[in-house]
């Protein structure tokens, strides 16, 4: 038996054992143990609430709980008691991902209950959807009528096992939720259900389905209005690579289109990655009172090495929260403005000529960089971060191929590899906004039309920053702040 109380007690008794060397300074992590998907992201009661998939007892995936943290500014987070733990019924083997909504002043969580049905826990299972309700935004009680969307409400032609990750929203006087699944024949899909009261649900339609090129199972769908249109963000599993895109085993993609509430169909013309790096999965969005739509994702990737699982007591982190903006037929992403308040120790330099390698006068392990390169005649140019000894994380650009690269082959003890993104210069210039936080790098390219995220695990003495060029280029501006 798992309980919220035993989880909280274990965390309190063991969190002092954590090793701190790769702990992030301005990103959300679990207090202790394992963290994956963000859940229940909402602005409620004057605070941002973020829940997360959590196994509090070890830095490994286990029977899922819901961790819970709150923030006034999306940067500094305070931990609250564990919100959900596996029970005795439909969720006895895990409280999987879901979302949150305010209903009659209460904070309501909608989540997936997971039940293992046979000897092979990876193949023998079933899933259904339930609710938990809080009067104060802190303590949650599971609804006595759970599950509210049962196994027998799965339509024909849809997986009898993969049926999860409800994202609930209200539109035109009704509640709706989208759920991730597949057709059992290699095509991921999203289901749409409707309710008047959150407790009685009816199936509307298969809202969208892969054509066979976008993964065999769709997870964590999020359907949101933006700029007069609808955006569907989801995490497809096992997407075959498409050129430089979708190079990870599992990916995240976005589609701009329109949801027809009568037919339940979501129509769209094209899709594109949400993040072009290594470690970004299962994002969830929330709106806030200032009209922003903010997205946050899990800053790790399934079936990848996670060095902090060995002797550190924790694994998993969230990305820096990002504002989503619509720019014609594409989305752009910007770090939330609140991060500026955490800047310390400014350093600025202008008109810096680079030919070969140049050591910059600043260093660190938790900082923000804003850099504008004038490409000049360089065949290649970029930055080397967290340098020291043989270690470096390389961000580079090749004008001839309009190609930006993020290489972590020499980034420390974690996994290596390279991710690439097609990027056009604007007036011969490349603008980068980079956030480094001990064991993470997030790169916002241009105006935020491309973002690349990756975990790195360099030694504690690898603190240097270098610029380099093959040929000659110029750094028009170089700005650095420690983030503290």
Long-range contacts of 168-173 (CB under 8 A, 24+ apart): 168/98, 168/99, 168/100, 168/101, 168/108, 168/110, 168/198, 169/101, 169/223, 169/224, 170/101, 171/261, 172/261
User: According to DSSP H, which parts of 95-179 are helical?
Assistant: none
In angstroms, the CA 202 to CA 196 distance is 10
Question: Helix (H, G, I), strand (E, B), or coil: what is residue 6?
Answer: helix
Q: Of 5, 107, 92, 116, give the one whose Cα is nearest residue 50.
A: 107
Cα-flanking dihedrals φ and ψ of residue 10, to 5°?
-65, -45
Bridge partners of residue 418, in order along the sequence: 407
Q: Of 238, 236, 280, give the one whose Cα is nearest residue 255.
A: 236
* Helix (H), strand (E) at residue 302: none
The catalytic position among 37, 93, 216, 275 is 37
Distance of CA 55 to the CA centre of its chain: 18
Structural tokens at position 29: 């992590």
Cα angle 273, 111, 275; round to 5: 10
196 is catalytic: no
Half-sphere exposure of 50 (CA within 13 A, CB side): 37
In the sheet with 217-226, reading across from the earlier edge strand, the strands are 217-226, 229-237, 253-260, 265-273
Length of the chain: 484
In angstroms, the CA 394 to CA 407 distance is 5
> 309: cis peptide before it, omega within 30°?
no
The number of beta carbons lying within 10 Å of the beta carbon of residue 13 is 10
In angstroms, the CA 245 to CA 404 distance is 12
In angstroms, the CA 315 to CA 293 distance is 27
- The residues annotated as belonging to the active site are 37
């Amino acid at each position: 038996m798992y309980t919220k109380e035993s989880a909280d007690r274990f965390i309190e008794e063991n969190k002092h054992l954590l090793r701190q060397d790769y702990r992030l300074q301005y990103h959300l992590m679990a207090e202790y143990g394992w963290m994956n998907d963000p859940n229940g992201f909402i602005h409620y009661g004057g605070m941002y609430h973020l829940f997360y998939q959590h196994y509090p007892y070890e830095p490994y995936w286990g029977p899922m709980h819901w961790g819970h943290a709150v923030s006034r500014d999306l940067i500094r987070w305070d931990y609250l008691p564990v919100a959900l733990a596996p029970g005795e019924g439909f969720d006895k083997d895990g409280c999987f991902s879901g979302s949150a909504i305010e209903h009659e002043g209460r904070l309501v969580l909608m989540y997936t209950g997971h039940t293992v049905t046979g000897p092979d826990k990876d193949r023998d299972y079933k899933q259904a959807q339930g609710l938990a309700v809080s009067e104060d935004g802190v303590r949650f009680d599971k609804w006595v009528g759970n599950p509210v969307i049962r196994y027998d409400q799965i339509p024909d032609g849809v997986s009898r096992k993969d049926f999860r990750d409800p994202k609930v929203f209200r539109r035109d006087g009704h509640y709706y939720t989208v759920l991730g699944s597949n057709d059992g024949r290699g095509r991921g899909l999203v289901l749409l259900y409707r309710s008047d009261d959150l407790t009685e649900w009816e199936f509307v339609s298969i809202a969208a389905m892969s054509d066979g090129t976008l993964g065999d199972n769709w997870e964590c769908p999020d359907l949101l209005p933006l700029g007069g249109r609808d955006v569907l963000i989801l995490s497809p599993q096992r997407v075959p690579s498409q050129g430089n895109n979708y190079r990870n085993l599992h990916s995240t993609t976005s589609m701009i289109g329109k949801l027809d509430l009568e037919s339940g169909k979501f129509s769209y013309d094209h899709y594109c990655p949400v993040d072009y790096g290594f470690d970004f999965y299962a994002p969830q969005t929330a709106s806030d009172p200032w009209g922003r739509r903010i997205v946050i994702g899990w800053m790790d990737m399934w079936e990848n090495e996670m060095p902090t699982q060995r002797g550190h007591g924790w694994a998993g982190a969230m990305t820096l929260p990002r504002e989503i903006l619509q720019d014609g037929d594409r989305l752009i992403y910007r770090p939330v403005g609140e991060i500026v308040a955490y800047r310390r120790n400014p350093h600025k330099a202008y008109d810096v000529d680079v030919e070969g390698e140049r050591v910059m006068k600043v260093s660190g392990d938790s900082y923000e960089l804003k850099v504008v390169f004038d490409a000049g005649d360089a065949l290649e140019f970029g930055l080397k971060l967290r340098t020291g000894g043989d270690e470096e994380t390389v961000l580079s650009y090749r004008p001839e191929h309009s190609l930006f690269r993020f290489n972590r082959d020499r980034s420390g003890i974690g996994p290596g590899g390279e991710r690439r993104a097609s990027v056009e210069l604007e007036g011969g210039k490349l603008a980068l906004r980079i956030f480094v936080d001990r064991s993470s790098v997030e790169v916002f390219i241009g105006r935020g039309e491309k973002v690349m995220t990756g975990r790195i695990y360099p030694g504690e003495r690898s603190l240097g920053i270098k610029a380099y060029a093959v040929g000659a280029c110029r750094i028009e501006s170089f700005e650095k702040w420690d983030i503290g």
